[in-house]
Structure 1
């Protein structure tokens, strides 16, 4: 039975002629640009930690929790930009908006190379957060606009993995730059890192400007035929759209259980990524003063590597299982509790702690699967509501993360992070409970929708029979 399901899943023919060709085109042009965009997004973002452990801390004379304050200020900008960015995508062409944001954050990344004090980086990162806020939630909105429920999980997983690849590549890039460019033209290696990161964004932005296909209803991409555009529109449910940007729309958002359910889900789940998002392994290694610059940059790359494997595995598995995205919530809950206990263990060896930090990287799987879950659940809701809910998920998570990391994961808490370990255990218990409640609500909504469809079909059949009877009498 299982083999039959696998074979059907892999070789399942598309329902419409030419659909397979359309999906391959979408994969090439949408996924390549979105993945490259997210790759550079995370490359620019994660390389702050790489620069910090590669000389920036000493050059700029960082003190106390200034490193964490920079991340918090970035998060504030990210929070302020997320919802406006997603609503902007609803009104503006993504092929214009995405590349523009890329060029802005790429320029700001290069400006970071000129920083002379931690407060300079704080100002730069605020505006960088505004620009980068468009990428993650914006792409999930776009993916939900083009792909069916059967296709969405894998594409979300591939997209999310590209960001982890950026994190991973950043460590190796810093190692290479530090060994070859440190001191060139009088600049430290960490300054060259930001210059090179910024330059990488330019050709990718130009690629998106000319080749990104926008959304099914607005696309003018030359590589899609008129029949393919019509097919793309027919693949997603047609939902009547009510005009947003008024009080009635705001009321619809805040009276919708989708908003509360999925925003709280991602607030909780986002904090289960705290070990990785706060670069705890890098800071732990730095605090021991036992590792070289190359080791400080290379060893932590194992964390996103685990994240990539876990993300692709769970994204594909939940597609195969018919969209059971909630399973990831339970996996993450177990992972967070066990890895925290391993790190809290006073008798734990260095190898055991490294293993815990690496294993904790697997929680990144929730990014792809939970946003795919939200897209699946709101597939029959209006696009503007879906756009706001998806953006609010990331906004809510980052709003909590802005102060959460300062309470539990500051650099001066290394190497034990005791408060953070206990916070992780509590967060994971809450995630398991909330996942169960949200599963109940989504199942209830789906059953209600099926009942409504059945009732409508019955009414249509009765009307048809009545009409047929009148014809016979005539």
Structure 2
């Protein structure tokens, strides 16, 4: 009599997901690397985003008036940072082949901490433009470098949640930055003759220094190169065995670059993040703060200008952790986030366009708040799409994976360098109508590209497994013949 197998229930899948079977010693290893990798990477990204977001906080807290900003100079400063960020992407990730991350990451942090504190001494917008360019170069390694490290240590089942926690830490920096600015403005404004926004940059730099020193002592590098004193020799061997063995050849060769830049992997994920990165424009360009600053009828206090926009990254944190965990549970179906973001981008843009038709109506303000808060949910694409790339490239050369991850961020920021000026210039506040239509277009395009890329990656994975099965079968047959 044939046995009938029934598909697993949702309850049994949940039980399996939350009660993973580990190898001997594996649970303790994961706990250690979770603590030391995630604490440093999250604190690093937190201070990184604190520095970035607080430029907008300072702008609405007196810097605009004190330095005589005109037109779109705030956007031009962001563009200078972005240009530096783009320049630093690929060199930063390639440097991880030659310099240990334990030294490279903290060194970059100390440089950007110094540049942040120097910003407190400026007297015109042009000085900030120069500082932010160099700050972009040294901050380039934080995001893509961390995703490279996470993909080096964690399995496909573990990666989404860790990527989500890392991304959420940056959003926490954006969210907390508003509250920090509020506290500094009320307690330090005028202290020693310095305005509150100047104290903000000083405090940000000071916060960054101990995090860099922590990484210098405790960061474990990669499984194959780690010398972390808190890992035993058996744990180091186990860490290497948990991830696929791949070549780690020198990336500085014509053959390597030719292969990298002609690969569909590279262009598929780079274009994905170029499109997805622009769906974050509502939040990354601080549009809610600029809307409040230029509101057609209401006058908001400095505290309100800093505190109200914090709801955007708060929504982003919840959305990021939800989708990162859900896509892990769904066996790595990261592409689902692309459809969610497509719907969100179209809906929120339409809400703001509708509100702009009746700008003095109090309900219009409520609709705009709701739209910008909801739009914060698109931050979920950061963790899931970079985890998707790490999953797809798990069996490729390490430096090729590093190039793809860096290329994704490079492409997105290269477009964002001019995109923010064209569609979200500060002079276009409060409605940014041109940007709303651009958001609708990229949201639809994201959904289409997600369909194409998910099909291609799934096809490639089926081919890889088929080739592996054939080679294993051939090896088994050879063993039988040799035995005979």
Q: Residue 17 of structure 2 aligns with which residue?
A: 9
Q: Residue 35 of structure 1 aligns with which residue?
A: 42
CA distance in 2, matches of 1:7, 1:340: 40
In the TM superposition, residue 266 of structure 1 has moved relative to its aligned partner by: 0.2
Q: Residue 338 of structure 1 aligns with which residue?
A: 347
Please say if 1:85 is aligned against 2:100. no
Which of residues 432, 436, 458 in structure 2 aligns to 1:443?
458
Q: Residue 67 of structure 2 aligns with which residue?
A: 60
CA distance in 1, matches of 2:221, 2:178: 33
In the TM superposition, residue 275 of structure 1 has moved relative to its aligned partner by: 0.2
In the TM superposition, residue 240 of structure 1 has moved relative to its aligned partner by: 2.6
Which of residues 247, 251, 266 in structure 2 aligns to 1:244?
251
TM-score relative to the length of structure 1: 0.98
CA distance in 2, matches of 1:151, 1:63: 48
Q: How many residues align?
A: 468
Mapping for residues 454-465 of structure 1, pairs under 5 Å = 454-465=469-480
Which of residues 396, 418, 423 in structure 2 aligns to 1:403?
418
Q: Residue 282 of structure 1 aligns with which residue?
A: 289
Please say if 1:352 is aligned against 2:367. yes
Which of residues 118, 121, 130 in structure 1 aligns to 2:128?
121
CA distance in 2, matches of 1:292, 1:459: 73
Q: Residue 188 of structure 1 aligns with which residue?
A: 195
Please say if 1:321 is aligned against 2:330. yes
In the TM superposition, residue 290 of structure 1 has moved relative to its aligned partner by: 1.1
Q: Residue 395 of structure 2 aligns with which residue?
A: 380
Please say if 1:145 is aligned against 2:160. no
CA distance in 2, matches of 1:224, 1:425: 49
Structure 2 SS opposite 1:324: coil
CA distance in 2, matches of 1:70, 1:165: 23
In the TM superposition, residue 13 of structure 1 has moved relative to its aligned partner by: 1.3
In the TM superposition, residue 416 of structure 1 has moved relative to its aligned partner by: 1.0
Q: Which blocks of at least 5 consecutive residues in structure 1 are unaligned?
A: 470-474
Please say if 1:413 is aligned against 2:428. yes
Q: Residue 320 of structure 2 aligns with which residue?
A: 311
Which of residues 15, 28, 35 in structure 2 aligns to 1:21?
28
CA distance in 1, matches of 2:133, 2:261: 28
CA distance in 2, matches of 1:169, 1:410: 24
Moved over 4 A (4+): none
Please say if 1:133 is aligned against 2:140. yes
CA distance in 1, matches of 2:219, 2:476: 44
In the TM superposition, residue 12 of structure 1 has moved relative to its aligned partner by: 1.3
Please say if 1:364 is aligned against 2:379. yes
Q: Residue 170 of structure 1 aligns with which residue?
A: 177
In the TM superposition, residue 244 of structure 1 has moved relative to its aligned partner by: 1.6
CA distance in 2, matches of 1:457, 1:117: 66
In the TM superposition, residue 468 of structure 1 has moved relative to its aligned partner by: 2.6
Q: Residue 3 of structure 2 aligns with which residue?
A: none
CA distance in 2, matches of 1:147, 1:340: 37
Cα deviations across residues 69-108 of structure 1 (Å, max 9, x unaligned)? 0000000000000110001112210010000000000000
Which of residues 198, 213, 236 in structure 2 aligns to 1:229?
236
Structure 2 SS opposite 1:349: helix
In the TM superposition, residue 243 of structure 1 has moved relative to its aligned partner by: 3.2
**Residues 79-88 or 286-295, more deviating:** 286-295
Q: Which blocks of at least 5 consecutive residues in structure 2 are unaligned?
A: 1-8
Structure 1 SS opposite 2:294: helix
Cα deviations across residues 236-265 of structure 1 (Å, max 9, x unaligned)? 100133432111011110121110000000
Mapping for residues 102-113 of structure 1, pairs under 5 Å = 102-113=109-120
CA distance in 1, matches of 2:112, 2:20: 41
Q: Is the 8 A contact 2:97 2:250 kept in 1?
A: no
CA distance in 2, matches of 1:436, 1:62: 43
